[in-house]
Structure 1
Amino acid sequence: MEDNIMNLVVVGVISWTTAFVLTRRMFPKRSFDFSNRVVSTIHATLAVILSSLSVQDWSCPACPLASKASPKQMQTLVVSLSYMMYDLVCSSFDKRISLDNSIHHLVSIVGFGAVLAYGRGASEVVAALWVSEISSPFLHMRELLKEFGYRDTDLNLAADILFAVIFTLGRMVGGPYVTYTTLSASNPFVIKAMALSLQLVSAFWLYKIMRMVKYKLTKRASSSTVAPKN
């Protein structure tokens, strides 16, 4: 069983890498970051869909607590584990390496791997994946719009605000709920540590996002008050 999971993870890493290479070939004039964000958007969308399909009881999305992974949850975890491994390596080749993003990836890899190894905590970790990825397509939309020439436009500002709202609702409303259920259930220590670490990283990212939104709104207000030249 473990060998089969490892084989699936390897196939997943190869598949995500292939998707990145194909995107680079399809958009040769776009940046390295553009291609990686296209792949990341595909993963985020797929992760949310698979996570939603694996929920057994929507009245308690993180239930049953400390449970063994169902086949659908196993599929979801394998897809996201392989993506996180791909993206951690791929991001290291970019010029802009983010320490907090690398920590997020490492924590996620350890958490997903722990669920597959211990056979417990699947519902909580899949719920955490849903909470984490629901805002990701909007995160990448912001940067993709800039590459298409929409930097400092109303469309880009709308994408910024939409991302900030969805991130806040997901990570700061759904996140604490998932963290609490993970910590209160009889999960292995490494899974509890993963849940708490991801929530702390989310809080740090929220601080950065609020600063970004404040800067964008202040900049927009300042530009609108400048009298046009005759």
Structure 2
Amino acid sequence: MSGFWFLGVHSLFSWFCSLCHRMAVGLCVQVLCSLGGWLSLYTSFCCLNKHRSCEWSCRLVTFTHGVLSIGSPNTPLQVHVLCLTLGYFIFDLGWCIYFQSEGPLMLAHHTLSILGIIMALALGESGTEVNAVLFGSEITNPLLQMRWFLRETGHYHSFTGDVVDFLFVALFTGVRIGVGAHLLFCEMVSPTPKWFVKVGGVAMYAVSWCFMVSIWRFAWKKSIKKYHAWRSRRNEERQLRHNGHLKTH
């Protein structure tokens, strides 16, 4: 599996190099600077958290990117966001392949994101759609990373963990599935985007649904588990109240 994705990344990199002549030199410099910046931030986190795992530092980088990568209707700012995010996704995809920490679904998500950003930068259009997808993807990312950090520090099974899980499921369902469906419909009926842009939008939305199915399964299992725990506590309290009022003969 890792060999397959390595070949995919190699092909992606070759395609990226072939497109560089179509992109402004300034954009290429921005992407390379972004990649170097994320690598430097990751290295800094590794040095500051030597007692933690490499995944801890990588998720700190992911959390930071999720907070920063909010799209803007301003075209110049959109380009800056795309360059910043492209560098991040190249970094994170390489990290995931090197440590083999993610499955095919996450690798497909990262690959599609990289292709979409390169396409928007190379064509000089569809930045609005790509930034909207990035916004929908990254708005839930900080909550996902907070959940992981809570689990690693032993604070997940608490009220805070429940709140984070609820907000994550609600945002993912409302933004990536609900709002995402509306944006995808608008893109499909509009004559402006090219056909491969529409295909990319459908692919990204399909990936979101794959994630959504797993998230709903998790939420259902957790809800059932908490319901059974609540019923058990209620039964114990009822028995204690009943035993406490038993008459002695």
TM-score w.r.t. structure 1 length?
0.86
Is the aligned partner of 1:98 residue 2:116? no
Indicate the residue corresponding to 2:33 in structure 1. Answer: 11
C-alpha separation in 2, matches of 1:217 and 1:154: 14
C-alpha separation in 2, matches of 1:225 and 1:176: 38
Indicate the residue corresponding to 1:64 in structure 2. Answer: none
Q: Which has the higher helix share?
A: 2
Is the aligned partner of 1:196 residue 2:214? no
Is the aligned partner of 1:32 residue 2:54? yes
Indicate the residue corresponding to 1:75 in structure 2. Answer: 80
How does 1:92-131 map onto structure 2 within 5 Å?
92-131=97-136
Ranked by relative contact order (alpha carbons within 8 Å, sequence separation 6 or more), the top structure is 1
Unaligned runs of 5+ in 1: 57-69
TM-score w.r.t. structure 2 length?
0.80
Is the aligned partner of 1:225 residue 2:243? no
Instruction: Tell me the amino acid that sits aligned with residue 84 of structure 2.
Output: V
The Cα RMSD (Å) is 1.9
Instruction: Tell me by how many angstroms 1:189 deviates.
Output: 2.6
Given that residues 5 and 78 in structure 1 are in contact (C-alpha distance below 8 angstroms), is that contact kept between their aligned partners in structure 2? yes
Indicate the residue corresponding to 1:65 in structure 2. Answer: none
Q: Is the deviation greater in 159-168 or in 28-37?
A: 28-37
Is the aligned partner of 1:55 residue 2:77? no
Instruction: Tell me by how many angstroms 1:95 deviates.
Output: 4.5
Alignment counterpart, residue 175 of structure 2, candidates 170, 179, 182: 170
C-alpha separation in 2, matches of 1:184 and 1:25: 50
C-alpha separation in 2, matches of 1:32 and 1:94: 9
Alignment counterpart, residue 145 of structure 2, candidates 109, 128, 140: 140
Alignment counterpart, residue 155 of structure 2, candidates 131, 150, 153: 150
C-alpha separation in 2, matches of 1:31 and 1:225: 38
Q: Is the deviation greater in 188-197 or in 131-140?
A: 188-197
Q: Is the deviation greater in 199-208 or in 153-162?
A: 153-162
- Count the aligned residue pairs: 213
Given that residues 13 and 82 in structure 1 are in contact (C-alpha distance below 8 angstroms), is that contact kept between their aligned partners in structure 2? yes
Instruction: Tell me by how many angstroms 1:105 deviates.
Output: 0.6
C-alpha separation in 2, matches of 1:79 and 1:191: 21
Structure 1 residues 75 and 28, CA, compared in 2 at 3 Å: closer, same or farther? same
User: 3-state DSSP class of the match of 1:165?
Assistant: helix
Instruction: Tell me by how many angstroms 1:163 deviates.
Output: 0.4
Alignment counterpart, residue 187 of structure 2, candidates 179, 182, 201: 182
C-alpha separation in 1, matches of 2:155 and 2:36: 33
Unaligned runs of 5+ in 2: 1-22, 241-249
Pick the structure with greater CA Rg: 2
